[in-house]
Amino acid sequence: MMNLLAESSPVPAIQGQMQGQIDIKNLHIRLGHGKNEFEAVQNVSVSIQPGEFVCLLGPSGCGKSTLLGALAGHLAPCSGSIQVDAQLVKGPHSDRGLVFQHHTLFPWRKVIDNVAFGLKMKGLPRAERHERARELLKLVGLAGFEQHYPSQLSGGMQQRVEIARVLINHPRVMLMDEPFGALDAQTRMMMQELLLDVWERIRTTILFITHDIDEALFLADRILVMSPRPGRIIEQIPVVFTRPRQSEIWTSDHFIHLKRRCLELLHLKNADFPLRRLTPLGTAPYP
Amino acid sequence: MSSITEAIAISSEKIRPHQLEVERLVRRISSIGICVLAWHLASTHHVDLGLVTFQNVPSPQEVLAAGWELLQSGKIVSHLTASMSRVFSGYLIAVVTGIALGLIIGRSRTSGDTLLPPLEMLRPIPAVAWIPLSILMFPSSELSMIFITFTGALFPILLNTIHGVEAIDPRLIASARSLGTGHGAIFTEVILPAAAPSIFTGLSIGMGTAWFCLVTAEMIAGQFGIGYYTWASYTVQNYAEIVVGMLLIGLLGMTSSLAIRKLGNAMMPWRVSGANK
């Protein structure tokens, strides 16, 4: 599977040198217009290694999604720079895949054509893109659902299709905005394990937003904790549980210790009032 | 989980078909039957309700006789082909301009600001008011009539297209761009299909309004057309024939609107196979 995807990647990766290095320098982002303008992200500088799994943890409305949107190229920074593999981010690109909290599958396309969409945009012939879409659907456990429409799937299945659709482009970076936030607890745990499993096979840098501390600790190599608005990174917490991770770590002492630390950080800095939710596309609320 | 969704998909397919469909068809046809019966009773008994009176309204039998006469005369084919070619020509032009303008206006505020005000001003003008100008503006009366049916069909198509485009979830477009979709492909791959349900609503309404303007358009006609036939019957006060013309227009409008809806369903299979339709 991995061979197949690596071979067909547009830029063959040089042996031992993975892609997906993110460098953010002195990033400021302002949202809104006129009187309503405010600073959503304030002076963020951070580097993320190729293939690293980083979770961005912070209270609601703190600018996590804004940062993600800027990385995806949907929001322009006010000052500072974002580079991926030494290239300045100027707009959306298939190298930087984006997964929202609620799926954005095209309702008019069957599952297989949704997954194959990125390859269609690259001009690949139909037979080839369907073959690779089938491989990815198998990888996310949805073999047999090729001919369904998205509306016929459950929420968890829709997100799995969404992830497959992003991964078929073999992106340098996968940006995920609380992708499991709308799922029930059971499905969410299943999806977390599935994501780690898929990530072991198709290694890509992942920046994953969540406000669920358990989720961040279970998934990440490193957690970046953000302050309430204006969003700044107030702490970086390395998470060194061995991989592949089992659900037993949830109850380990170290897990509890890290969780307590995260709680302190979030509580300490929590705003007294709930802030309006921000999205990777700006201030507009999700429909 | 997979077997459950499949089971649901299969069972919902099994509940829908024949028996239910037949029941609905019977209900629909009897609804028309009841209306005709009421008309029959009101007209044969010369019912007078004060505000509205059926004393001089032709009865269904008289109308049927007039319809039979029209059928016998053989002129009906000429009337039908003349009217249908006018309506469909005007409609087709409205489809192309309405959808194209709607996509542009829906996508860009600047073009909306530039194009919408004159269109909004033209919209309330009734077809009948266009008659003199359309005679002046177009070289043949045929083109004038096509123009009038065009004005009837244009606005529902245009407004529904604009609405459909504006209602598109911006995340859908953002996702498409993050998957490598260029600016041109966004229109064909995302905006058009995403707005399609709303566009088809406009197409179906527009089909109806095109027929709606037919009598007006064919006031200009010299010889043929269902609208002309209706109007000409009025001028000689043949009321039964008027009703024949009215019913023919209603029937044709209904059928072609239905055809558009069926076409829409065929082109949007994802909507039909959705959970709740």
Q: Do B170 and B72 lie in a common domain?
A: yes
Is pLDDT above 80 for B274? Answer: no
**ω into residue A244 within 30 of 0, thus cis?**
yes
At B16 the pLDDT is 59
pLDDT tens string B175-220: 999 999 998 899 999 999 999 999 999 999 999 999 989 888 898 8
SS3 state of residue B48 = strand
**ω into residue A280 within 30 of 0, thus cis?**
no
pLDDT tens string B122-152: 999 988 899 999 999 999 999 999 999 999 9
Report the 10 Å Cβ neighbour count for B276: 5
Q: Do B129 and B220 lie in a common domain?
A: yes
CA-CA-CA-CA torsion sign (B55, B60, B65, B67): positive
At A163 the pLDDT is 95
Q: What is the mean pLDDT of residues A182-191?
A: 92
Q: Do B69 and B36 lie in a common domain?
A: no
Selected for mutation to probe chain B from A75, A111, A120, A121 (highest B CB count within 10 Å) is: A121
At A13 the pLDDT is 45
pLDDT tens string A98-145: 999 999 999 999 999 999 999 999 999 999 999 999 999 999 999 999
Select from B170, B180, B270 the Cβ nearest to the Cβ of A121.
Answer: B180
Q: Do B263 and B204 lie in a common domain?
A: yes
Of B9, B28, B57, the residue that ends a domain is B57
Of B57, B81, B99, the residue that ends a domain is B57
pLDDT tens string B213-270: 988 889 887 789 999 999 999 989 999 999 999 999 999 999 999 999 999 999 998 8
User: CA A3, CA A132: separation in Å to the nearest integer?
Assistant: 12
Quick one: what percent of chain A has pLDDT higher than 70? 90
Is pLDDT above 90 for B12? Answer: no
Is pLDDT above 90 for A283? Answer: no
Q: Which of residues 153-182 of B touch A (CB under 8 A)?
A: 169-172, 174-182
User: CA B233, CA B241: separation in Å to the nearest integer?
Assistant: 6
pLDDT tens string B69-109: 999 988 899 999 999 999 999 999 999 999 999 999 999 88
Assign domain A20-95+172-287 one CATH number from 3.20.20.10, 2.40.128.30, 3.40.50.300, 3.30.420.10: 3.40.50.300
Q: Do B93 and B163 lie in a common domain?
A: yes
Domain range for B203: 59-270
Binary contact (A151, B275; C-beta < 8 A): yes
Structural domain contains residue B277: no
Q: Do B47 and B154 lie in a common domain?
A: no
Binary contact (B179, A74; C-beta < 8 A): no
Is pLDDT above 50 for A5? Answer: no
Q: Do B140 and B255 lie in a common domain?
A: yes
Select from A104, A122, A144 the Cβ nearest to the Cβ of B180.
Answer: A122
Structural domain contains residue B276: no
Is pLDDT above 60 for A271? Answer: no
**CB of B249 within 8 Å of any CB in chain A?**
no
Q: What is the total count of domains within chain B?
A: 2
Higher pLDDT, A39 or B37: B37
Binary contact (B175, A98; C-beta < 8 A): yes
Is pLDDT above 60 for A14? Answer: no
With beta carbons less than 8 A apart as the criterion, state whether B260 and B200 touch. yes
Is pLDDT above 50 for A7? Answer: no
Distance of CA B264 to the CA centre of its chain: 13
At A223 the pLDDT is 94
Token pair of A57, please? 């943890």
Q: Which residues of B201-233 are buried (b: 16+ CB within 10 A; e: fewer)?
A: bbbbbbbbbbbbbbbbbbbbbeebbbbbbbbbb
Of B11, B30, B57, the residue that ends a domain is B57
With beta carbons less than 8 A apart as the criterion, state whether B226 and B210 touch. no
Is pLDDT above 90 for A251? Answer: no
Q: Do B31 and B69 lie in a common domain?
A: no
At A15 the pLDDT is 44
DSSP structure class, residue B57: P
At A275 the pLDDT is 65
Burial class (CB in 10 A: 0-12, 13-18, 19+), B182: exposed
Structural domain contains residue B170: yes
Binary contact (B273, A149; C-beta < 8 A): yes
User: CA A47, CA A257: separation in Å to the nearest integer?
Assistant: 25
